[in-house]
Structure 1
Amino acid sequence: MKMLITGARGQVGRALLHSLAIHGEVVAATRDGSVDNVTLPTTALDLGRPAALADILTRIDPDVIINAAAYTAVDRAESEPELAHCVNAEAVGALGRWAADAGVPVVHYSTDYVFPGQGDCPLRESDPTGPRSVYGHSKLAGEAALRESDADHLILRTAWVYDAQGKNFLRTMLRLGAERDRLTVVDDQHGTPTSANLIATATAHVLQHWLAADTATRHAQSGVYHLVAGGRTTWCGFARAIMDRAVQVGLLARAPQVEPITTTDFPTPARRPAWSVLDTTRIRETFDIELPAWEVGLDAVIAELTGAR
């Protein structure tokens, strides 16, 4: 089985290269075709050029497409709506149409930003969407484009993604924690920190079950699923947990004081959802998968950073 992984330089894409390599042939795709420290086959695939995707996909001839590429600059998207829509919606539709014609299944990642960010109960896949940002609108349009393509697909909505590498909240907190004695962090946005490794390992598990099913079952299981770790916290709670663990393992000499603030105290160009807690019942029951508490993933990433020192 040949698996094409787009966005192979991103947090989730890098983790997927490792989690899926044992299950078949993997082709790593990035915008310029380069991936550092990878011995797998690589190819150039630019989602900013949707019209060129069909020819590239025909040349690669994958058996399954895992689309981990996206325009993820949430604030910059407010001033680049056309580019965000091109990458997150038009290109996803192009991938889906080629996949439908070729009979190739697609796994695609979406986001909590498709919701309006209100409520106090975990959000189900069937709950009303209503993005409040350009990024959220573009990702929701991508979901619709893939669904309308008629390709067999899994849309995995996730949230608050972080990793030991790349640009993310955890790495920013560790950097600031080493520089400052006091930090202020938003405490009225609720969600679930989810490691890229959890997303990748869960994807491998789900994909195995999905592809092993007969055609009718696979088609029936197509659709949207929520994929995040267990539990919930706030950005402030996440920051405090990062600092505590970093001090315990020696990544930080001392923990800075982490003080809570509100979203209005920290304005950004794009509106962040206040409520991003996703209900994962559907994916757990459909594919018989366990999703550990977010603290388990944090411990694993901290251990990885400790070992890399």
Structure 2
Amino acid sequence: MKILVTGASGQLGSEIKELSVNYTDDTFIFVDREEMALDNLTQVLSVIETIDPDLIISGGAYTAVDKAESEAELVDVINHQAVATMAQWAKQNNRKLIHISTDYVFQGISSTALKEDEPTNPINVYGLSKQKGEEAIITSGADAIIIRTAWVYSSYGANFVKTMIRLMTDREEISVIGDQVGSPTYAHDLAQVILEIAHSEKWAKGIYHFSNEGEISWYDFAVAIKELKNLACHVRPITTAEYPTAAKRPSYSLLDKTKIKQTFGVAVPEWKQSLSNMLAKI
């Protein structure tokens, strides 16, 4: 199988690259901004046509949530129009697509874990662009799997875990939001699931949710990082209102993973074990 992976140097792309060595029968082509700029739709189509993959893993995206508020047009091209281009090519050429989406497509006011058929209603520009990307895939009729995930971190790239370690090492006290609830996703676990699905005989197009098991706040996440790293910094919980940002954040975005587990038989590790695995790696 020839697999094209976008967002090669991102957290997820880097984890897929690391795991790709286990799939010796496949040919992986990893592309990033230099090889395939997602804001250049002509180039996107040209690169895909040249590579002619059996499967596209669409992991590249504009993910600077706050900056997106002032760059709506650019965000739409990358997260919506480029995705539409991939989906249309996949449909026309009878190829498969796995696209990574986000919990930010939801409004974030639920009190129970979000299922795949829950109505979407984004509260920021980034979320809206990702919603449009999902809709473009569905409209295209492509043989595609959309995986919504949340709170992604990895030993690669910049993320919450690395930021917390740096701040807790430098400071005696930090404040972390305690009223936004969800579950983090170790990108290594997500990469494994994507590759398992890609090689599964049970391929079933549609939308799926994946994050690690558990329900925590960002504050709980920070405290766990502190404890596992044995850092002395005091972590203080604050409210969302005390930490204003350009983009609104969902207050509750816990994803229900029942469908992906039942359909593909994949394992969903518990969040603290995955965090421990990542910290051991760095």
- Give the TM-score normalised by structure 2: 0.97
Determine if the alignment matches structure 1 residue 263 to structure 2 residue 240. yes
Matched residues in 2 for 1:20 and 1:199: separation? 13
From 138, 144, 148, the equivalent of 2:139 is 148
Q: Figure out how many residues of one structure are paired with residues of the other and give that number.
A: 280
Determine if the alignment matches structure 1 residue 229 to structure 2 residue 212. yes
From 274, 285, 288, the equivalent of 2:262 is 285
Matched residues in 2 for 1:53 and 1:181: separation? 47
- 1:227–1:30 distance in 2 versus 1, CA, 3 Å: same
Percent of aligned pairs sharing the same letter = 40
Partner of 2:273: 296
Contact 1:51 1:94 survives alignment (8 Å): no
Amino acid at match of 2:72: P
Amino acid at match of 1:271: K
Amino acid at match of 2:244: P
Alignment root-mean-square deviation, CA: 0.9
Q: Secondary structure at the match of 2:29?
A: strand
From 64, 79, 94, the equivalent of 2:70 is 79
Matched residues in 2 for 1:146 and 1:297: separation? 31
Matched residues in 2 for 1:19 and 1:273: separation? 32
Matches within 5 A, 1:6-155: 6-23=6-23, 24-32=26-34, 44-155=35-146
Matched residues in 2 for 1:20 and 1:47: separation? 23
Matches within 5 A, 1:169-208: 169-208=160-199
Matched residues in 2 for 1:205 and 1:2: separation? 15
Matched residues in 1 for 2:205 and 2:20: separation? 20
Amino acid at match of 1:25: T
Matched residues in 2 for 1:122 and 1:30: separation? 33
Q: Secondary structure at the match of 1:302?
A: helix
Q: Secondary structure at the match of 1:91?
A: helix
Matched residues in 2 for 1:52 and 1:30: separation? 12
Amino acid at match of 1:69: G
Contact 2:103 2:150 survives alignment (8 Å): yes
5+ residue gaps, structure 1, are 33-43, 248-253
Contact 2:14 2:156 survives alignment (8 Å): no
The offset of 1:241, in angstroms, is 0.2
- Give the TM-score normalised by structure 1: 0.89
Amino acid at match of 1:246: K
The offset of 1:165, in angstroms, is 2.2
Amino acid at match of 2:239: T
5+ residue gaps, structure 2, are none
Contact 1:114 1:130 survives alignment (8 Å): yes
Contact 2:10 2:156 survives alignment (8 Å): no
Q: Secondary structure at the match of 1:122?
A: coil
Q: Deviations over 1:93-124 (max 9, x none)?
A: 00011111111100000000000001211000
The offset of 1:72, in angstroms, is 0.2
Matched residues in 1 for 2:43 and 2:280: separation? 42
Matched residues in 1 for 2:232 and 2:106: separation? 34
Matched residues in 1 for 2:250 and 2:227: separation? 26
Matched residues in 1 for 2:52 and 2:115: separation? 35
Amino acid at match of 1:27: I
The offset of 1:270, in angstroms, is 0.2
Contact 1:3 1:27 survives alignment (8 Å): yes
Matched residues in 1 for 2:43 and 2:278: separation? 37
Contact 1:66 1:106 survives alignment (8 Å): yes
- 1:147–1:21 distance in 2 versus 1, CA, 3 Å: farther
The offset of 1:290, in angstroms, is 1.4
Matched residues in 2 for 1:158 and 1:167: separation? 17
Q: Which moved more, 1:47-56 or 1:132-141?
A: 47-56
Q: Secondary structure at the match of 2:99?
A: strand
